[in-house]
Amino acid sequence: MASSRARKASHRQRNALSEGARSAAASARATYRIFFSIFLGDCSRERGLRGYNSG
């Protein structure tokens, strides 16, 4: 009886951990995408300015 309750509690804890890991991975992916888009935007902006200066 007590063992089944403990097993259920550990299972719930594992679910919470996987849920936290999933949300952390999603937020990290979003942060990476934002950073990458900003980085690419800066690079393209620099390239465009360089093109204007040379032209």
pLDDT in tens, 3-55: 888 888 888 888 888 998 999 999 999 999 998 888 888 777 666 666 666 55
CA–CA dist 27, 12 (Å, integer)? 23
pLDDT at 52: 61
CA–CA dist 8, 1 (Å, integer)? 11
Nearest alpha carbon to residue 17 among 9, 29, 31, 49:
9
pLDDT at 26: 93
Helices (H), the chain: 2-54
CA–CA dist 5, 51 (Å, integer)? 68
